[in-house]
């Protein structure tokens, strides 16, 4: 048992996504057959063409390429938010198996996330938070015992006393159209800090692989006025600068 931090990495992605997307877009406007398209796109760098496509907002071709991320060190609270994105695919660590760690005589069964706002309150606040997590660990252990310590079956009900802070791990796949939508909502200052940190790191990583596809990606205000209207964070210039240099 202990505190843990966000870790995200790209596990796999569509090979040469910009070439594939250029091929799909060119098919829409060209009389060439598939062989002709393949030959055409492999002859020159397709990145500028793809950049133009993104500016036009012709987005169906970008659905052909996807990225798969390994994510850990995030809370169940984040899980509730990210899984609202219906066009993404998820595999999530089951809490019914958390008891397996304890069986191996490790110190506790659940890792947890500490919000930066609590961390910023200083050592006393952090110690109190840690004690509360330890208390929940004990409640959990107590219920596992009272439910017969039968593994999966007892864990599945004992976990009801675990907090939103409990760590989870997942593998998530999104196509590029969904990623652009996800970044628009979740990189915004109005999004909750943990999912914003995750989305921003995901964007930084995909930009390394496909810079033209993601050159305009980020919160809604990168493309024009703030879509949050009266709820605006009021920091548009700072936000734009941050994502330009990500």
Ligand X SMILES: Cc1cc2nc3c(=O)[nH]c(=O)nc-3n(C[C@H](O)[C@H](O)[C@H](O)COP(=O)(O)OP(=O)(O)OC[C@H]3O[C@@H](n4cnc5c(N)ncnc54)[C@H](O)[C@@H]3O)c2cc1C
Enzyme catalytic residues: 186
Name, in order, each residue with C-beta under 8 angstroms of 221's C-beta and a sequence gap of 6 or more.
Answer: 188, 227, 228, 232, 236, 239, 240
Tell me if 209 sits within 8 A of 203, measured CB to CB.
no
Shortest gap between Cβ of 246 and ligand X (angstroms)? 19
Site size toward ligand X (CB under 6 A) is 9
Shortest gap between Cβ of 186 and ligand X (angstroms)? 6
- Nearest-angstrom CA–CA distance, 118 and 207: 32
Which one among 64, 93, 169, 190 touches ligand X, defined by CB under 6 A? 190
**Nearest to ligand X of 90, 139 (CB atom):** 90
Tell me if 11 sits within 8 A of 171, measured CB to CB.
yes
Looking at 109-175, list the stretches that DSSP marks H as alpha helix, in order from N- to C-terminal side: 116-119, 123-146, 152-158
**Nearest to ligand X of 8, 179 (CB atom):** 179
Shortest gap between Cβ of 182 and ligand X (angstroms)? 6
- Nearest-angstrom CA–CA distance, 235 and 189: 8
Please, how many CA atoms are within 13 Å of residue 10, restricted to the half-sphere of its CB? 20
Of 21-29, 50-58, 80-88, 152-160, the window that binds ligand X (rule: CB under 6 A) is 80-88
Of 60-68, 72-80, 159-167, 184-192, the window that binds ligand X (rule: CB under 6 A) is 184-192
**Nearest to ligand X of 178, 194 (CB atom):** 178
Of 11-19, 124-132, 153-161, 177-185, the window that binds ligand X (rule: CB under 6 A) is 177-185
Residue 84 binds ligand X (CB under 6 A): yes
**Nearest to ligand X of 151, 220 (CB atom):** 220
Name all contacts of 82-86 with Cβ < 8 Å and 24+ positions apart: 82/170, 82/172, 82/195, 82/198, 85/174, 85/178, 85/181, 85/182
Residue 181 binds ligand X (CB under 6 A): yes
- Encoded tokens for 44: 């020159």
Residue 85 binds ligand X (CB under 6 A): yes
**Nearest to ligand X of 141, 228 (CB atom):** 228
Which one among 54, 185, 210, 217 touches ligand X, defined by CB under 6 A? 185
Shortest gap between Cβ of 177 and ligand X (angstroms)? 8
Residue 86 binds ligand X (CB under 6 A): yes
- Nearest-angstrom CA–CA distance, 215 and 205: 12
Tell me if 214 sits within 8 A of 47, measured CB to CB.
no
Residues that bind ligand X (CB under 6 A): 84-87, 178, 181, 185, 190-191
């Amino acid at each position: 048992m202990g505190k843990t931090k966000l870790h995200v990495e790209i596990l796999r992605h569509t090979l040469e996504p910009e070439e594939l997307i250029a091929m799909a877009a060119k098919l829409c406007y060209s009389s060439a057959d598939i062989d002709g398209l393949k030959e055409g796109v492999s002859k020159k760098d397709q990145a500028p063409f793809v950049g133009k496509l993104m500016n036009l907002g012709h987005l169906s071709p970008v659905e052909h390429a996807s990225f798969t991320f390994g994510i850990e060190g995030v809370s169940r609270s984040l899980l509730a938010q990210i899984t609202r994105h219906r066009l993404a695919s998820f595999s999530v660590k089951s809490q019914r198996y958390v008891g397996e760690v304890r069986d191996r005589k490790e110190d506790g069964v659940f890792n947890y996330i500490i919000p930066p706002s609590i961390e910023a309150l200083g050592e006393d606040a952090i110690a109190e938070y840690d004690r509360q997590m330890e208390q929940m660990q004990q409640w959990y252990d107590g219920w596992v015992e009272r439910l017969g310590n039968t593994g999966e079956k007892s864990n599945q009900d004992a976990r009801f006393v675990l907090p939103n802070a409990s760590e989870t791990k997942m593998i998530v796949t999104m196509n590029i159209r969904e990623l652009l939508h996800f970044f628009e909502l979740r990189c915004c200052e109005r999004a909750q800090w943990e999912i914003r940190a995750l989305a921003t790191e995901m964007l930084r990583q995909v930009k390394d692989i496909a810079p033209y596809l993601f050159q305009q990606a980020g919160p809604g205000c990168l493309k024009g006025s703030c879509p949050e209207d009266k709820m605006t964070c009021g920091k548009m210039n700072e936000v734009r600068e941050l994502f330009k240099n990500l």
